[in-house]
Amino acid sequence: KQGVMASPMFKPIGSNSGGVSGEGDNKFDVFYKDLKETEKRDSVLTSKQQIDRLLRPGASYANLNPFEVLQVDPKTPIDEIKKKFRRMSILVHPDKNQDDSERAQKAFDELTKAWRCLENESTRQKCLDIVEEAEAIVTKRTEERKKQLKREGKDTRVDEDDPEKLKRAVYVQTMKLFADMERKRRQQETRDQEERKRKRDLEIEEEEQRKAEKEWQKNFEVMTIPELHL
């Protein structure tokens, strides 16, 4: 079954709720830092820079989160998100970037997919639920770590006490949950395809059987008709 393709910049998504570690953690730190610097420059990004942002290495992972694609806070009102989508879509539209129309089209498609996800109340709520779940996971994990440190008689200060590091932890967890949702969606899609194929194969088999029975009945009737003697 097909799962979410892991970007070279990230380790595969596991089933636990912990953060990315080791070399993958360092690479993610670089990616996250670059991403946030890009967001700060959002108001002055050129068409090329927006296209590069949406198609950069690792973007297939980040683009699972429609809020990241449109660079809006999850709590942003839908009318404001729509305005942001329109501004960004104009910026990367293929007609405006004819010297790089193929990549511009891909970037435009990413923006459109994100907007369609958020303009639908049901799918937008699912995305908001993911963000809330990520915040809850990070909060619980942080509290448990503090309790453990307290039991051990150690300093209870943790990285997440720093607002920026807390934001990063929530970002990482949010991305993991979006990736997990995409993996489940693809698995369900594969199961649905297999079920449709199974039903179609069964229909073909039954149709062939009906044809065979009809042909047999026809031949049987011919064989049993008595010969007429003049």
* Per-residue CA distances from 221 to 110, 157, 217, 226, 230 (Å): 64, 91, 6, 10, 22
Residue recorded with tokens 């879509």: 89
* pLDDT of 228: 52
Q: pTM (2 decimals)? A: 0.63
* pLDDT of 35: 57
Residue ranges per structural domain of the chain: 22-183
pLDDT tens track, the chain, 230 positions: 333 333 333 333 333 434 444 555 566 666 556 655 655 555 457 899 999 999 998 888 889 999 999 999 999 999 999 999 999 999 999 999 999 999 999 999 999 999 999 999 999 999 999 999 999 999 999 999 999 999 999 999 999 999 999 998 998 999 899 988 888 877 888 888 888 888 898 888 888 888 888 888 877 766 665 555 54
- Cβ-in-10-Å burial (0-12, 13-18, 19+) of 182 comes to middle
Residue recorded with tokens 């989508």: 85
* Per-residue CA distances from 195 to 1, 183, 187, 191, 200 (Å): 14, 18, 12, 6, 9
* pLDDT of 207: 86
DSSP string, 50-74: HHHHHHSTTHHHHTTSHHHHHT--T
* pLDDT of 181: 84
Cβ partners under 8 Å of residue 68, min gap 6:
35, 62
* pLDDT of 229: 53
